[in-house]
Chain A
Amino acid sequence: MPRLGEPAPQFEAVTTHGTLKLEDFKGSWLILFSHPADFTPVCTTEFIGFAQIHEQLREMNCELMGLSIDSVYSHIAWARNVEEKLGQKLTFPIIADLNKEVATKYGMVMPGESKTETSRCVFVIDDKQIVRAMVYYPLSTGRNMDEMLRLIQALQATDKHGVATPANWRPGDKVIVPPPNTQEMAEERVKEKDVECKDWYFCKRDLE
């Protein structure tokens, strides 16, 4: 099972873009996500949503890759159907995980929900192939694409500026300054001019 802050489990898989290895994505961020099945309505809305944010993600050096326990021919047929009937080209690879190898490595099957389908799991893997976030949604509930974008923006802001981000943070909002860990630093922190402190441990500042 993947854990936050640890290397993402490596794999090689058949996809709609040929055989891919996770290591092929080194140097890029990656959102690896699973869906229950092709030709199902909630998944179709999600795939359209993911495809619609793909370009924005690429601008953030982030790629997308889907996965379900379906054949590559099913994926190809579904992708063609989505483009033909709904006008959205699916521009990212989709893993055909018929033997559940990747799904098992990543804990994507939730037997309490379904023994034969992957739930709506999201793994954010950074450019060094470290697992940075995991999100799990049930079969019944489609994911929020704004949150996918926001999550990548927040993680990249953390890496770039060494800060944390508060609830509902959006680019342009103030960020959290990591709390001081000595009494001396706490005293200095509350005197700093470019930070806005509610108390010594709770300070925010603008980025840049």
Chain B
Amino acid sequence: MACVNPDGTVSESARALLKIVENPLTPEEISEQVGQPSFKVRSSLREMSQAELVIEEEGKFTITEKGKEKI
């Protein structure tokens, strides 16, 4: 259930995360909004950070231009 596939496409749950991080949010806030457990949100954000789809600043995550292309 990796959220970024080897071909660069993203899973449905990853798209759901990307759509709500227009404004900076913590993993806990994201978890509440998308109804996914915190552990899964943290894991997905880590993967999407590595793929440069989101950026972290002071514990909050925001979508990047590259991320916007995926939704």
Interface of A with B (CB < 8 Å)? 16-21, 23-25, 27-28, 58, 63
Contact = CB atoms under 8 A, between A and B. Distances in A.
A28 B43 contact: no
Contact of A21 (B1, B28, B43): B43
B42 interface: yes
21 contacts: A17-B1, A17-B43, A18-B1, A18-B2, A18-B43, A18-B44, A18-B47, A19-B2, A19-B46, A19-B47, A20-B39, A21-B42, A21-B43, A23-B42, A24-B39, A25-B39, A27-B28, A28-B38, A28-B39, A58-B37, A63-B39
Contacts of A27: 28, 38
B40 interface: yes
For the complex of A and B, the 7 pairs showing the least CB-CB separation, nearest first, are: A24-B39, A24-B42, A18-B2, A17-B1, A25-B39, A18-B1, A20-B43
B35 to A, nearest CB: 12
A16 B40 CA distance: 11
Contacts of A18: 1-3, 40, 43-44, 47
Contacts of B44: 18
Contacts of A24: 38-40, 42-43
Interface of B: 1-3, 28, 37-40, 42-44, 46-47
Given A17-B40, A24-B40, A28-B39, 20 more contacts: A16-B1, A17-B1, A17-B43, A18-B1, A18-B3, A18-B40, A18-B43, A18-B44, A19-B2, A19-B46, A19-B47, A20-B43, A21-B42, A21-B43, A21-B46, A23-B42, A24-B38, A24-B39, A24-B42, A28-B38
Contacts of A21: 42-43, 46
A19 B28 contact: no
Contacts of A58: 37
A83 B14 CA distance: 24
Contacts of A16: 1
Contacts of B37: 28, 58, 63
Nearest to B31: A27
A56 to B, nearest CB: 15
B43 to A, nearest CB: 5
A25 B39 CA distance: 5
Contacts of B1: 16-18
Contacts of B46: 19, 21
Most buried by B among A18, A27, A58: A18
Contacts of A25: 38-39
A198 to B, nearest CB: 43
